[in-house]
Amino acid sequence: MTFLGICLLFTYLFCQWLVQAEFFTSIGQMTDLIYKERDLVQFLKVYIKEEEERLGKIKSWASQIEDLTSKSALDPEGFLAHPVNAYKLVKRLNTGWLSLESLVLQDATKGTKYVASLSVDDCFGMGKIAYHESDYYHTVLWMQEALKLLDEGERSTTISKVDVLDYLSYTVFQLGDIQRAVELTKRLLLLDSSHERAGTNLRYFEKMLERERNEEKVNKTSDAKPNKTLYEIYTRPQDYLPERETYEALCRGEGVRMTPKKQKRLFCRYHDGNRNPILILSPIKEEDEWDSPRIVRYLEVLSNEEIEKIKELAKPKLARATVRDPKTGVLTTANYRVSKSAWLEEYDDPVIAQVNKRMQAITGLTADTAELLQVANYGMGGQYEPHFDFSRKEEPDVFKRLGTGNRVATFLNYMSDVEAGGATVFPDFGAAIWPRKGTAVFWYNLFRSGEGDYRTRHAACPVLVGSKWVSNKWFHERGQEFLRPCGLTEVD
């Protein structure tokens, strides 16, 4: 019950007590009831006014959401393709509607404001999430953005520059940039000289920086190779990916090592799968994407009707994507793979059997020992960080349960275009393959000798705008003995 409601109730009960106490027997005493009733009316008018204001806010909220949903419902996937729209939807469902509930149940509360871009609070919140996940790399990016917005004059009622600098200075230290950690901590102390933790951190950072400089001097005057600093030995994050800078540059469309000389070695042609009956009358269009390791793209592999059918079959089965545990071979989730996936059997629909046969004809490999068709959907920020499709020597049991040997090749179908992001990149040699709906790319993960080709370590870049749909078939070693004969050397 609201505060005004309680006041009305108490006043009403008081009046009831007066009446029941036989005040009506004296006109003089009953005049008090007149004044009490007058007070009740005033309370009621104030209550009505506040309720009208509250209802006005609720109506305004409803109107905003109605306008938004009327537009988003016309093209849900297109609307959610924009990462800010998707983020705001999740935020509304988690906090916005709770605020509305408070507005309905309580006297009053502040309305939710919507902006077209992320606020200081949004960026700081994302940075804190990354920090608590020990993802220091992205913590720095979000905190830098929050600090930039504050420097540009954006205001926040809950977040200050001191808060941001506190996280940012310690995080850059965690990433090994001690000099910058010192600079940021000094800036923090200029804003708040009494910040106890910052003062302690600064003394520690300066001590570590001095030690690092002394080690550099020793290494310069000796022939010995530079030793790792104590910081690197004890505190460097274990999940740090050495190729991250290359990986993210490729995702931005930078750093692709496609030289004119290499470009001349790439061709396009019609491919009939060595006169495979399925392709003789209708050969597939084949384009070279990379020469070594060889990556090819096939055009018009899937029709729009097939794509829609595959998506329709997969949607009810979509679940958080999994990876195989290198020690046990059991499928499990991992924070470096953000997507949803489903596995489709041939008996699910004739289209699946048809697509499987087509991939078998194109590659010249048997699909009898291949894994089921995997369908994956990457939404806002969906990605799969650098990984190998094949199992390495230190992971002998990954595919043991399947009994079909290692993954010899990958056939990847692109079932949608992506407005921004979503490329398949190979950090080792600097290739970036961009999604094109209806096409597919293919590469071998193993040399003919059966040894893994470590150059094929690849990643699915984060989807920035759009929704990425792919399906893939992993072909295994067993059954390919005469279709792809073994080579004579380790790198054949």
46 pLDDT above the threshold of 80: yes
Query: Is 15 a member of any domain?
Result: yes
User: Which of these ranges, 130-144, 219-233, 395-409, 457-471, has the smallest mean pLDDT?
Assistant: 219-233
Give the tokens for residue 16: 């009831």
Q: With CA atoms as reference, report the closest residue to 163 among 128, 133, 111, 213.
A: 128
pLDDT per residue over 290-318, tens digit each?
A: 999 999 999 999 999 999 999 999 999 99
How confident is the model at residue 115, as a pLDDT?
38
One-letter amino acid at 6 equals I
Q: Determine the 3-state secondary structure of 142 from DSSP.
A: helix
One-letter amino acid at 113 equals K
Q: Determine the 3-state secondary structure of 411 from DSSP.
A: strand
Higher pLDDT, 369 or 97: 369
327 pLDDT above the threshold of 80: no
Sign of the CA dihedral 363, 366, 370, 372?
positive
pLDDT per residue over 212-256, tens digit each?
A: 888 887 877 665 554 444 334 333 344 444 678 899 999 999 989
Taking the C-alpha atoms of residue 437 and residue 170, their distance in angstroms, rounded to an integer, is 44
How confident is the model at residue 97, as a pLDDT?
80
Percent of the chain with pLDDT over 90: 53
How confident is the model at residue 490, as a pLDDT?
76
Query: Is 113 a member of any domain?
Result: no
Q: With CA atoms as reference, report the closest residue to 295 among 468, 436, 445, 451.
A: 445
Residue 475: CB partners within 8 Å, gap ≥ 6?
363, 365, 366, 367, 369, 370, 407, 408, 409, 410, 411
Query: Is 359 a member of any domain?
Result: yes
Q: Taking the model in full, what pTM does it have?
A: 0.66
pLDDT per residue over 72-81, tens digit each?
A: 888 888 888 8
37 pLDDT above the threshold of 80: no
Burial class of 193 by CB neighbour count within 10 A (0 to 12, 13 to 18, 19+)? exposed
Please calculate the CA angle 265-270-273 and round it to the nearest 5 degrees: 105
How confident is the model at residue 443, as a pLDDT?
98
Q: Which residue bears the tokens 């994956």? A: 376
Position 118 confidence tier, pLDDT thresholds 50, 70, 90: confident
Query: Is 249 a member of any domain?
Result: no
Report the run of H or E that residue 269 belongs to, with start and end.
strand 268-271
The answer to whether 436 and 361 are in contact (CB under 8 A) is no
Taking the C-alpha atoms of residue 118 and residue 116, their distance in angstroms, rounded to an integer, is 7
Whether residues 309 and 441 fall in one domain:
yes
Whether residues 281 and 405 fall in one domain:
yes
Query: Is 488 a member of any domain?
Result: no
How confident is the model at residue 187, as a pLDDT?
95
> To the nearest 10°, the Cα dihedral for 334, 340, 346, 347?
110
pLDDT per residue over 346-404, tens digit each?
A: 999 999 999 999 999 999 999 999 999 999 999 878 899 899 999 998 888 889 999 99
User: Which of these ranges, 19-23, 186-190, 211-215, has the smallest mean pLDDT?
Assistant: 19-23
Give the tokens for residue 287: 């384009």
192 pLDDT above the threshold of 70: yes
Phi, psi of 201 (to 5 degrees): -60, -40
Q: Summarize the confidence of residues 455-481 as an average pLDDT.
A: 95
28 pLDDT above the threshold of 50: no
Query: Is 481 a member of any domain?
Result: no
Position 24 confidence tier, pLDDT thresholds 50, 70, 90: very low
Whether residues 329 and 231 fall in one domain:
no
Q: Summarize the confidence of residues 184-202 as an average pLDDT.
A: 93
CATH number, position 388: 2.60.120.620
Residue 25's domain spans which residues? 3-105
Higher pLDDT, 103 or 112: 103
Query: Is 326 a member of any domain?
Result: yes
Written as one string, the DSSP assignment of 118-168 is --HHHHHHHHHHHHHTT-HHHHHHHHHHHHHHHHTT---SS--HHHHHHHH
Whether residues 300 and 174 fall in one domain:
no
β-sheet bridge partners, residue 324: 331
β-sheet bridge partners, residue 421: 463
Whether residues 100 and 130 fall in one domain:
no
Q: Summarize the confidence of residues 3-18 as an average pLDDT.
A: 49
Provide the domain count of the chain: 3
Highest mean pLDDT among 39-43, 84-88, 373-377: 373-377
Higher pLDDT, 51 or 34: 51
Whether residues 265 and 173 fall in one domain:
no
446 pLDDT above the threshold of 80: yes
174 pLDDT above the threshold of 50: yes
Whether residues 228 and 264 fall in one domain:
no
Whether residues 344 and 273 fall in one domain:
yes
Whether residues 98 and 133 fall in one domain:
no
Whether residues 361 and 327 fall in one domain:
yes
Average model confidence (pLDDT) for the chain?
Answer: 84
CATH number, position 224: 1.25.40.10
Position 476 confidence tier, pLDDT thresholds 50, 70, 90: very high
Query: Is 482 a member of any domain?
Result: no
Whether residues 99 and 54 fall in one domain:
yes
433 pLDDT above the threshold of 50: yes
How confident is the model at residue 11, as a pLDDT?
52
Give the tokens for residue 303: 């029709």
Position 26 confidence tier, pLDDT thresholds 50, 70, 90: very low
Whether residues 264 and 369 fall in one domain:
yes
